[in-house]
Amino acid sequence: MSNKNSNLSILLKGLLLENPVFVLILGTCPTLATSKTIIDALGMGLAATAVLICSNMVISLIRRFIPDTVRIPCYIVIIAGFVTVVEMFIHAYLPSLYEALGVYLPLITVNCIILGRAEMFASKNTVFKSALDGVGMGLGFTLALLSIATIREVIGAGTFAGIEIPVLVDFKIKFLQETPGGFLVYGIMIAVVYKLTHGKAPKKTKFGCESCPSFAVCGGVKCDNTAKEAK
């Protein structure tokens, strides 16, 4: 993490400078799959945020008791537990969202953002800081999903959160609602965010594998992309 670990910077860095989706390139699968409509994106973002905050706090609480060699399976079990709780909650109170998210809801378990933050942040920091990190990263994830979903829904379906927009609904580009459109919008958004943050972001010259949150998980495979990004 950066040299100053003030609480505010922990909270805010997830939003843009270390946005999990656009800068750290984590959690690509749910980002692409649930960014079709704004409602789905919001539901997915908040569900993942809830899991992220809870798992970060619990992992931070018990970080001294977990043997180093089996930490990843331990994290996965904790995360899967919270995912099950959130899944049952959504099933009970928001059945339509449960239908829309489908298989992607249990798949929050393998969302690399959550495991990545557990490994990189929660296992090294206090409970309070880990909770803040969870909030920041979760909101960053939600915002990223919402921005992609807004583009895809407004241009692709001519609606905003299900409400029809008068002119656009007649000239919708259905392509953006389909799979290829998801890849396209995500690619363009990463390029835009890269351009935006390039001037403001603290110098990320050392974007080596050690500073990548999912290093232990990915074994250095994805870091190629991230490092290329930063150059």
| Contact set with another protein (CB under 8 A) | 25, 28-29, 32-33, 72-73, 76-77, 80-81, 83-84, 87-88, 102-103, 106-107, 109-112, 115, 178-184, 186-188, 190-192, 194-195, 198, 217-222, 224-225, 228-229
- To another protein, the closest distance from the beta carbon of 166 in angstroms equals 29
> What is the DSSP track for the chain?
--S---HHHHHHHTTTTT-TTTTS---HHHHHHT-SSHHHHHHHHHHHHHHHHHHHHHHHHTTTTS-GGGHHHHHHHHHHHHHHHHHHHHHHH-HHHHHHHGGGTGGGGG-HHHHHHIIIIITTS-HHHHHHHHHHHHHHHHHHHHHHHHHHHHHHHSEETTEEPTTGGGG--GGGGSHHHHHHHHHHHHHHHHHHHHHHSPP-----GGGSTTHHHHTTSTHHHHHHHH-
C-alpha–C-alpha distance, residues 124 and 161, integer Å: 39
- To another protein, the closest distance from the beta carbon of 5 in angstroms equals 27
> In terms of CB distance, is 46 or 218 closer to another protein?
218
- To another protein, the closest distance from the beta carbon of 216 in angstroms equals 8
CA dihedral 15, 17, 19, 21 (to 10 degrees): 140
- To another protein, the closest distance from the beta carbon of 62 in angstroms equals 17
> In terms of CB distance, is 21 or 143 closer to another protein?
21
> In terms of CB distance, is 99 or 164 closer to another protein?
99
> In terms of CB distance, is 12 or 71 closer to another protein?
71
> In terms of CB distance, is 12 or 215 closer to another protein?
215
CA dihedral 193, 195, 197, 202 (to 10 degrees): 130
- To another protein, the closest distance from the beta carbon of 51 in angstroms equals 11
> In terms of CB distance, is 12 or 66 closer to another protein?
66
- To another protein, the closest distance from the beta carbon of 8 in angstroms equals 29
